[in-house]
Amino acid sequence: MFRPFLFEAVLFILPFLVYGAWVLLRGKRPGLPERTGMPLLRLIALGVICMAVGLALFAHYGGAPAGSGYTPAHMENGKLIQPETR
């Protein structure tokens, strides 16, 4: 359950990290005001787009194949049988 959340969080934070690296490589101090507009708004929009693409890819390619059945964990002869999809 934690892995999908972490995956989406990384996709959201990715534009901010790229922007920070770009600012550092450019040699500009991050505390100075930007002349190009609102980079934070653009970064949030790019983060949301990355998250949406990640959710779509996860929904399309993740999980069990269509039509497969799920067998929950259960006990057989005192032994725990792990859950599986067939």
pLDDT in tens, the chain (86 residues): 677 778 888 888 888 888 888 777 777 665 666 566 667 788 888 888 988 888 888 888 877 777 888 899 999 999 999 988 88
**Count of structural domains within the chain:** 1
Q: What is the pTM of this model?
A: 0.52
Does residue 85 lie in a domain region? no
Containing structural domain, residue 9: 1-75
Q: What are the backbone dihedrals phi and psi of residue 63, each rounded to the nearest 5 degrees, phi first? A: 85, -170
DSSP 1-48: -HHHHHHHHHHHHHHHHHHHHHHHHHT--TTSPPSSS-HHHHHHHHHH
70 in a domain, yes or no?
yes
Would 69 be classed as within a structural domain? yes
